Amino acid sequence: MSLMPKKSKISPPQFLAMGFTSIIVIGTILLWLPVASIPGQRLSFIDALFMATSATCVTGLSVVDTTSHFTFFGHIVILILVQLGGLGFMTMATWFALAWGKRVSLRERLILKEAMNQHYMEGIVRLSRRVIIYSLTVEFVAAILLSLRWATEMPVGQAVYYGVFHSISIFNNAGFVLIEGSFAAYADDLFINVITVILIILGGIGFIVLSDLIEYRRTRTLSLHSKVVLSASGMLIVFGALVIFLMEFNNVQTLGPLHGGGKVLASIFQSVSLRSAGTSTIDITGLRESTQFFMIILMFIGAAPGSTGGGIKVTTFVILIGSVITMLRGREDVVLFRNRLSKEHTYKAIMITFIGLALVVSGAMIMSTTQSHSFLKLLFETTSAFGTVGLSVGLTPELTTSGKIVIIVMMFIGRLGALTLAYALQPRIHKELYRHPEGKIIIG
């Protein structure tokens, strides 16, 4: 396996950025072909670029209706881009190399470590192999269950096609659906809701956590990372569902028409979807502005590191909250599950959050100068792109070319990761040979 020259000076973050860019370019060309769209509806180049970026970055924002605009060829291209973007091209390349009996070089292990957001290189190839096996197994089981459900209301061939497409799209938190109005028709369907929610959660907690859970029967222990991700994700889902339920209970455009059980299901579904999935069982455009703003906050937090989702990540959010609590209590160390975190974790969490806020706010401000829509809608769309969520208030199809470019950039950064992009753009680091004297400033 030789993905890059042995003497290449390209850093792992730069190689990842180039890899995702290459996939997007190839996807753009394929979706731009006349065969990808129905006759007479060929995509413009910018729209093809938008859709390829959205699929590769597993976002789900669309400038055209995915169901009716694309041919079978177009759907397959989108599905392949989603799978490559979700699992990561380095993970897929490693799997193919191992299948052909090739060795994975040290440099390629470094790139894998960066791609999977790991601290150590030990066991990285084994983890990448597990990622492929776990993912394909989950997608296969979900495809069978969804196919059996849809076979009761459509031809078997179409049901199987829908089952495969949606299992891959939902597990990778992509948000592309072939059903008119997303999953609104299944708002009170317990079977569809449960399968979809499980798929979103499994894709959003990250492959490291998924591996920990599968190995738990043997090890009887979970890593600190897994404990933080599972507890934080659970609390955010419950809190999000409760807020959506209370805010939208009487809204006739969203939860209002549903019965009690349907309201609960829809609230849970939408809260889970905010982790990074992009599917919905209610009309996002009909939500109250307060609910939409609350969703912006949850989308900005995003999913877990090493997952198919974007955002600043739940672990970053937990470290920030932990740092605030630690300072208010007058203590020195952030402690989670009886484990002390280093100062580096806090500095990195602050940097990621600051970069994320700067990107989202800048993107929304740029959009406000070129798009004739309310700032809240622009902020919602920009945050959805950064968090690779894919939920939309109906703004995406109406974007101008400049607006589409902004969203494309936000989706790319959201999938690659603000920190990885920062490392990719920075010059080579030279260790300082001296330290400046310590100074004092007044804060607060």
DSSP state of 303: S
3-state secondary structure 340-396: EECHHHHHHHHHHHHHHHHHHHHHHHHHHHHCCCCHHHHHHHHHHHHCCCCCCCCCH
Contact 227, 300 (CB under 8 A): no
User: Burial letters for 190-211: b for 16+ Cβ neighbours within 10 Å, e otherwise?
Assistant: eebbebbbbbbbbbbbbbbbbb
For the four alpha carbons of 62, 85, 224 and 341, in that order, the dihedral sign comes to: negative
Residues 152-165: tens digit of each pLDDT: 998 999 999 999 99
Alpha helices by DSSP H, 179-328: 190-204, 207-219, 224-248, 260-273, 289-301, 314-328
d(CA 409, CA 431): 32
d(CA 343, CA 272): 31
d(CA 112, CA 91): 7
d(CA 251, CA 20): 41
DSSP state of 36: G
Over range 404-427, report the average pLDDT: 79
Residues 17-71: tens digit of each pLDDT: 788 888 999 999 999 999 999 998 899 999 999 999 999 988 989 999 888 899 9
Which of 152-161, 170-179, 417-426 ranks highest by mean pLDDT?
152-161
In this predicted model, which residue has the larger pLDDT, 128 or 250? 250
d(CA 36, CA 73): 5
Confidence of residue 1 (pLDDT cuts 50, 70, 90): very low
Q: Phi then psi for 70, rounded to 5 degrees?
A: -95, 150
d(CA 268, CA 237): 7
d(CA 399, CA 281): 24
DSSP state of 240: H
d(CA 241, CA 21): 36
pLDDT at 426: 60
d(CA 339, CA 192): 39
Question: What's the token pair of residue 24?
Answer: 């997007």
d(CA 295, CA 282): 13
CA distances from 164 to 24, 140, 150, 381 (A): 22, 8, 11, 28
d(CA 242, CA 9): 50
d(CA 393, CA 416): 24
Confidence of residue 120 (pLDDT cuts 50, 70, 90): low
Residues 67-87: tens digit of each pLDDT: 889 999 999 999 999 988 887
pLDDT at 292: 95
Place of tokens 């040979």: 433
Spatial CA neighbour of 425 closest among 6, 8, 9, 17: 17
Residues 384-400: tens digit of each pLDDT: 999 989 899 988 888 99
Question: What's the token pair of residue 214?
Answer: 């599968």
Contact 144, 25 (CB under 8 A): no
Which of 2-6, 257-261, 374-378, 428-432 ranks highest by mean pLDDT?
374-378
pTM for this model (two decimals): 0.87
pLDDT at 259: 87
Determine which of 135-139, 210-214, 267-271, 364-368 has the lowest per-residue pLDDT on average. Answer: 210-214
